[in-house]
Amino acid sequence: MYKSIFYYGAVKIAPTSNYLSSNLIIKVSSAKKAFKHKFILQKSVVINSLDAKDLKEYRLLAGNNNPFMEDAKTVELVFSEQVQDFELNISYCLRFKINGKWETNRITPNWTELGLYSPWYPYFDKALVTYRLTIDIIDNYELISIGALSKNKKYKLKHDMPTISILLLIAKKFLTIEDEPSYIKVRYPHHIKKDFAKFISIESKNLYQSLKELLGKPTRSDSIDFVVADRDKAGGYVRDGLIVIQNIKDYEAKKERYIYWLAHELAHLWWYKADTNSWEDWLNESYAEYYSFMVLEEVLGEDYLSKKIEEKREISADLPPIRDILRTDDKAYNVLYHKGFLLLYDLANMVGQDKFQAFSKTFSQLTEYDTEIWLNSLRNSFNDCVYNFAMRKLEE
């Protein structure tokens, strides 16, 4: 629906009072002309002013359609003419502590994490974004983000390459673990314990090397920054070269589980290009699972993995098809992570792991892809039999 969005302006954040205010000029480029356009924003939003050329009125509607953004409401813009590209001037403020369902995003004195789970800036459906922002954080807090960041009283944040979101991670002070020579940095808020960050640093370096041997250099970024978030729920996610992870206090007791999880997140540095809001996300998730299995055999042993595969077969027995599964479906996680993994795993056994990995490596380097492209590449690299097998597995 929306092609690209550019954000320009000033943001002010006060972690101690759970508060954010923003003055933005937003250049919107949409796919087609329309009288109505819409975006979403965190539900506590109070709009002070909103203006655009030919804008007749705007309406606030409860809720939105995005499965990941339950804490947001929709703002509908009604124009007097049909418009395709337009410039929006908006001033608004938000006040919230921790978002409801996922507990990922928050504005709190110890830890502020702002991304797309509770959209803190006007989010236009599926658009890639670029931005130039001034960010003023009250009380001299530190900021981590993706893009070029500089500080001189206020932060200046710039990202000229289209990306999926504007991410802000804020703590009073961050510490860094960086072993030389290294392309992996682990950063963590100074008030939490160091040991989990240290564990991440050691394990991820080995896993990253193994993945690179199989898939080549990641197309995403050369270096990787981990940030340990000060929360013990909601897991992690990857944005450009940055991996955000929850702080796990009892990781010693569940080491295997976290190494497994690390491998999956690292594999997303290669597997991220399919649409994450639809069933196409199976390509990202199933491939991340598949490659984490390929590098974990050495680390966790064959038994651990056979047991995992067994579990995946049990879970997948009565699941709906991968094709067209809604991302909002209760079963979406199992379908995308387990059933999809088994499709790839069985396919690889059919054509030979080496051949399948050579095919997948080339496929991962395409600038964009979806299932249609994947199926056609499969037919070209192998034969109709392999293509039909994959096709059937997507639909059964």
Which bin fits 63, alpha (ψ -120 to 50), beta or left (φ > 0)? Answer: left
Closer to Zn ion by CB, 203 or 285: give it: 285
Closer to Zn ion by CB, 52 or 266: give it: 266
Q: Which helix (H) or strand (E) holds 378?
A: helix 371-381
Closer to Zn ion by CB, 113 or 285: give it: 285
- Tell me how far, at minimum, the Cβ of 232 lies from Zn ion, in Å: 19
Which residues does 254 contact at the CB level (< 8 Å), separation at least 6?
248
- Tell me how far, at minimum, the Cβ of 176 lies from Zn ion, in Å: 25
Closer to Zn ion by CB, 79 or 271: give it: 271
- Tell me how far, at minimum, the Cβ of 48 lies from Zn ion, in Å: 38
Interior/surface letters 158-192, b for 16+ CB within 10 angstroms, e for the rest: ebeeebbbbbbbbbeebeebeeeeeebbbbbbeeb
Residue 352: burial class (beta carbons within 10 Å; 0-12, 13-18, 19+): exposed
Closer to Zn ion by CB, 75 or 336: give it: 336
Q: Which residues in this chain contact Zn ion in the complex, by CB under 5 A? A: 285, 288
Instruction: Name the token pair of 357.
Output: 């990995």
For every residue of 320-350, DSSP letters joined together read: PPSTT--TTSTTHHHIIIIIHHHHHHHHHHH
- Tell me how far, at minimum, the Cβ of 336 lies from Zn ion, in Å: 8
Among 236, 234, 13, smallest CA distance to 120 is for 13
Closer to Zn ion by CB, 197 or 263: give it: 263
d(CA 242, CA 299): 24
- Tell me how far, at minimum, the Cβ of 237 lies from Zn ion, in Å: 8
Closer to Zn ion by CB, 141 or 290: give it: 290
Cα dihedral 336/337/340/342 (nearest 10) = -160
d(CA 306, CA 231): 32
- Tell me how far, at minimum, the Cβ of 54 lies from Zn ion, in Å: 42
d(CA 289, CA 268): 9
- Tell me how far, at minimum, the Cβ of 288 lies from Zn ion, in Å: 5
Closer to Zn ion by CB, 266 or 288: give it: 288
Q: Which residues pair with 27 in a beta bridge?
A: 6, 87
- Tell me how far, at minimum, the Cβ of 380 lies from Zn ion, in Å: 27
SS3 content of the chain, % helix, strand, coil (to 5): 35, 35, 30
